[in-house]
Amino acid sequence: MLSASSATSGRQTSGNSRGVSRRRALAALLVGTPAMLAALPGPAAAQGPGDPGTFQPREIIDSGHQFFGSVSRGLALTVQEATRRWGEPNGYILGQEASGAIIGGVRFGEGTLFTRNAGQRKVFWQGPSLGFDVGGDGARTMMLIYNLPRVNALYRRFVGMDGSAYVVGGFGMSAVTADNIVVVPIRAGVGARFGINVGYLKFTDSPTWNPF
């Protein structure tokens, strides 16, 4: 039969053993946590400055100055505003566009798509333009393209984004989108166009007169 002191000593030993076990388990958990966290997948990388597949604002502005035929502060400010909103594009289009409307109108254009990985491709676009548009124009048009996964993904219909209009120094910018791809047309040309153009653009790999 155990004495009172022996029983007390036994309980203390048992308690101490359980305490040591808990401390060891906690230490093992703390050591293993960083490794487990490191194994978890991180957030998807965004296309930002330095991405080898994108074009930097300086490249876009230089190309635009050559295309539009003049060095314009308005173009630089417009490209910078697009970069502020959507980052660096992984493609851009240089082309010619013709459109005209009184209340509603039609827009047609053709140009060359430039990308880092797929080279250059001929592209065409069509679409209605709604709003208070006056006159017609034959405008040189630059389009910045964001999140384009492959060239064929461009051949679809893009709808207008609310609140995307921006006008400065004779250049106008708007945006259309589809499935996370954003296309930002930057226009400068002959003719008076007022208000906000609402509608869509449809891109194709061959010319067509059907805007729908």
- Give the tens place of pLDDT for each residue, 90-141: 999 999 887 665 455 777 899 999 999 999 999 999 987 655 454 455 678 8
Strands of the chain, DSSP E: 91-101, 104-115, 120-130, 136-146, 157-160, 166-168, 171-173, 176-178, 181-188, 198-204
CA distance 51 to 49: 6
Report field, pTM of the whole predicted structure over 0.85: no
Higher pLDDT, 27 or 208: 208
Residues 90 and 136 in one domain: yes
Q: In percent, how much of the chain has pLDDT > 90?
A: 39
Position 211 in a domain: no
Together in a domain, 67 and 156: yes
- Using 50, 70 and 90 to split pLDDT, how confident is the model at 171? confident
Q: Is the pLDDT score of 55 beyond 90?
A: yes
Average pLDDT of the chain is 74
Q: Are residues 111 and 152 in the same domain?
A: yes
Looking at the structure of the chain, the number of domains it has is 2
Same domain, 65 and 137: yes
C-beta separation of 63 from 97 below 8 A: no
Contact by Cβ (8 Å): 67, 79: no
For residue 62, pLDDT beyond 50: yes
Q: Which residue has the tokens 């492959």?
A: 150
Q: Is residue 50 part of a domain?
A: no
Q: What's the distance, Cα to Cα, between the start and end of the chain in Å?
A: 98
Tell me, what's the pLDDT at 101?
Answer: 54
Give SS3 for 206: coil
Predicted pLDDT at 47: 52
Q: What is the distance of C-alpha 60 from the center of its chain?
A: 15
Assess whether 61 and 35 both reside in one domain. no
Of the pLDDT bands very low, low, confident and very high (cuts 50, 70, 90), residue 148 is very high
For residues 188-210, average pLDDT: 69
Tell whether 94 is covered by a domain: yes
**73 Cβ neighbours under 8 A, 6+ residues apart:** 169
Q: pLDDT over 70 for what percent of the chain?
A: 62
Please indicate, yes or no, whether residues 64 and 39 belong to a single structural domain of this protein: no
Report pLDDT for 36: 35
Comparing 105 with 10, the larger pLDDT belongs to 105
Domain, as residue range, for 4: 1-45
Q: What does the alpha-carbon distance between residue 128 and residue 199 come to, in Å, rounded to a whole number?
A: 6
